[in-house]
Structure 1
Amino acid sequence: MTFTQSAARLPSPPSRLTRLLDLARRVPFGPMVSATTWAVIVGTGLVVASVVAGVAWRPGLIAMQALLPLLGAAVLVAASVAVARRRPIAGSVGCLVAAGAAALVLPVATAASKPPWVEEADRLTIYSANLRRSNGRVAEALEMARRSDADVVVLIEFVEEFDKPLEASGLLDVYPTVVRDRREDGNVLLTRLPSSDTEVVRHAGFELPAARVDVGGRAVFVAGVHTQAPHSRAYVDRWQEHLGGVARAVDGHANVVAIGDFNGSLWNPPMRELAAWGFTDAHDATGSGLARTWGASLPGHEPVVSLIGIDHAMSRGPDIVPISIRDARVPGSDHRSIEVTYAVR
């Protein structure tokens, strides 16, 4: 008798997709989601508390305060996830933190009411741009400033290498009054309006080019601002001193505008102190407080996404009201420009 024995078939190895799915089933996603949810809730809660308490002593905290709108959106998602997963404690705490963030963020997205005299008042337009000291496209950036047709132009991080492009831009033909501080990366203020008291203010802890311009017979003191960036703990105190110095720089003038790169957001305590001292932020007053004007980028490149709003126009006085503001990309810079129009009576 003859026996036929078939060869035993070996099982085929699992596919890559099968192995990945098997690995995924072993990952403890539940605990990971819970940990991430709590991290977002607690982290955002601490940032909200620091804003309310007026605390800003570390660069990381200052940056997180500037990112509060994004953190508010993140904590809302985290609270929703907690509710969907039937985690009542995390959901409740997350909703409270989200409400706190909203209370700080939403008001700046609502325009303030304007007095009735605004419609018939004279107009003052100011353009400000941080050129970036390493800008390889500064000629284009200066042409953009010229096309703004503003009454006053403020240029931040203006280095000596930009002198010839400035002369070639035609700006000096349009704006005969020029005020410039001579720091390594100084600032320039140009105006075509009748002006007096053109000076570099030095008693504020840092230098601000300034001029008192005539707007329909009313004097407005305009100062260009570039504060120290709080990028390390060694510079945080100087940053706070500079922001406090903005008020000192314009003291003694009835109607003022401080405009430029404040290196601070509307949720950083020193900026909130300026508001408490009577300054009005043009973004805030016009309902544009969520505008983002700066993003990290490599030298020679523009940011893909602007992350935080640190360029501001701050005004104070009974006869000046911001009525509009817009921002735009500046060729070669990591900042966006701001152009604000004021009503002046």
Structure 2
Amino acid sequence: MGLTPLGSEPGPNVPIWCRFALKGSDPFRLERVRTVVAVLFALPWIGWALLRTLGVEAPFPLVAAIAFTPYAALTSPAPVVLALILRRKAVAIVSGVAAVALAFAMVPRAVAGPQPEAGGPRLVVMTSNLWLGRADVPAVLRVAREHDVDVLSVQELRPKMLPKFETDQFPHRILLPDAGAAGAGLLSKYPLASSGGELQPEAVFTVEGAPPVRIKAVHPRPPVTFEAAPDWRRALEALPSSDGVGDVRILAGDFNATLDHPELRALLDRGYTDAADATGEGWTHTWPAGTKSDRALPLTIDHVLVDERVRVEKVTVVDIPRSDHRAVIAELRLPDR
């Protein structure tokens, strides 16, 4: 495509939405406009790729926006195509690098990764956000029974739900309800010894043939306001590390974070594996669900994080009636003693 002659109509390869700015303009102005249009269109993807690749701890609202990185990756070819149409080679190259960087972060989630050769007993862990006490508790218990769940972590547990969780299915319980969204609980087939946690309980239990297992229910505030974002970051930083010796550690809950948040990746670097990511299910969304499924783009914010000595055999994500989150069920193989 050559330069548009002075006073002529813009060529067919120029997008219709910028032709009005080119009509009747001189060739040099047309070139400048093409460059400006290509650069301005590409900047959001380039900035997003830099933010994701460098692992910058972004302030609100960027910390909330970073959760939507998969959608930035899916649309990242758009600025490359536009730059090629406008013949802005440099912009196309930089945009292409950004697209590759975003794809490099996304693709591994769909591929099962290497795992340890754990030879201990099987353990099934499930996490379910109860949506401010609205979730159908019998349905939660039914799903847990169908999947032979050994330990259940629940979040947004309200006091009114406690009687419904009094069941022989999980005879051992640490339930810390709250009138707001902070309540949480652990329910287990194995005896639980509480080891702390205010409204995010932590407990130790023993499975024959394996080291003691230490599990914590997780539910930090979502980073959706200027005030909440620092609290969310501090809550993730305060979660215990796993040193790969002694007790086997498991964190299960609604982290209000995706694998694109550097804060969650930093936690993984402290000795954990994301169960869904390990089995190639990292793209499976957990929120929103049910009645809220049409109100927001799907995200993966509920996780089961396991000690790096644990082998993840399977991850299943299940809808729970009347909850805005899907439950995550991880079938694990513990290390032997």
2:321 is equivalent to residue 322 of structure 1:
no
- Which of the residues 309, 317, 341 maps onto 2:331? 341
Which residue matches 2:205? 213
- Which of the residues 186, 189, 195 maps onto 1:189? 186
- Superposition deviation, residue 152 in structure 1: 0.6
- Which of the residues 163, 166, 173 maps onto 1:178? 173
State percent identity of aligned pairs: 24
Which residue matches 2:30? none
Distance 1:62 1:289, change over 3 A: same
Which residue matches 1:239? 232
Residue by residue, what CA displacement relative to the aligned partner does 1:267-313 show, whole Å, maximum 9, x if unpaired?
1111011122121111221122222211288xxx2313651111111
Residue by residue, what CA displacement relative to the aligned partner does 1:62-119 show, whole Å, maximum 9, x if unpaired?
232211111011112331343245332332121011011122222233211233x34x
AA aligned to 2:214 is F
Give 1:132-281 correspondences, 5 Å limit: 132-133=131-132, 135=134, 137-167=136-166, 172-184=167-179, 185=181, 186-193=183-190, 195-202=191-198, 207-218=199-210, 219-247=212-240, 254-281=247-274
CA distance in 2, matches of 1:250, 1:178: 27
CA distance in 2, matches of 1:33, 1:68: 27
Q: SS of 2:314's equivalent?
A: strand
Which residue matches 2:113? 112
What are structure 1's unaligned runs of at least 5 residues?
A: 1-24
Q: SS of 1:208's equivalent?
A: coil
Which residue matches 2:100? 99
AA aligned to 2:247 is A
Residue by residue, what CA displacement relative to the aligned partner does 1:147-184 show, whole Å, maximum 9, x if unpaired?
332001111111012234434xxxx2111000122433
Which residue matches 2:87? 86
2:55 is equivalent to residue 62 of structure 1:
no
Moved more, 283-292 or 36-45: 36-45
- Superposition deviation, residue 338 in structure 1: 0.2
CA distance in 2, matches of 1:250, 1:177: 27
- Superposition deviation, residue 215 in structure 1: 2.2
Residue by residue, what CA displacement relative to the aligned partner does 1:203-253 show, whole Å, maximum 9, x if unpaired?
xxxx32222222233211111111111110111111011101112699995
Distance 1:190 1:137, change over 3 A: closer
Distance 1:83 1:26, change over 3 A: closer
2:301 is equivalent to residue 310 of structure 1:
yes
The answer on whether the counterparts of 1:127 and 1:148 sit within 8 Å (CA) in structure 2 is no
CA distance in 2, matches of 1:245, 1:221: 16
The answer on whether the counterparts of 1:221 and 1:253 sit within 8 Å (CA) in structure 2 is no
Greater C-alpha Rg: 1
Distance 1:288 1:216, change over 3 A: same
Distance 1:158 1:96, change over 3 A: same
- Cα RMSD for the two superposed structures: 2.9
- How many pairs align? 306
Which residue matches 1:122? 121
Distance 1:248 1:74, change over 3 A: same
Distance 1:250 1:276, change over 3 A: closer
The answer on whether the counterparts of 1:122 and 1:215 sit within 8 Å (CA) in structure 2 is yes
Q: SS of 1:211's equivalent?
A: strand
What are structure 2's unaligned runs of at least 5 residues?
A: 1-14, 22-32
Moved more, 210-219 or 222-231: 210-219
Distance 1:99 1:27, change over 3 A: closer
- Determine which structure has the larger helix proportion and give its number: 1
- Superposition deviation, residue 327 in structure 1: 0.7
Which residue matches 1:5? none
CA distance in 1, matches of 2:262, 2:19: 38
CA distance in 1, matches of 2:327, 2:318: 5
CA distance in 1, matches of 2:328, 2:268: 19
TM-score (normalised: structure 1): 0.79
AA aligned to 1:176 is P
TM-score (normalised: structure 2): 0.80
CA distance in 1, matches of 2:19, 2:141: 53
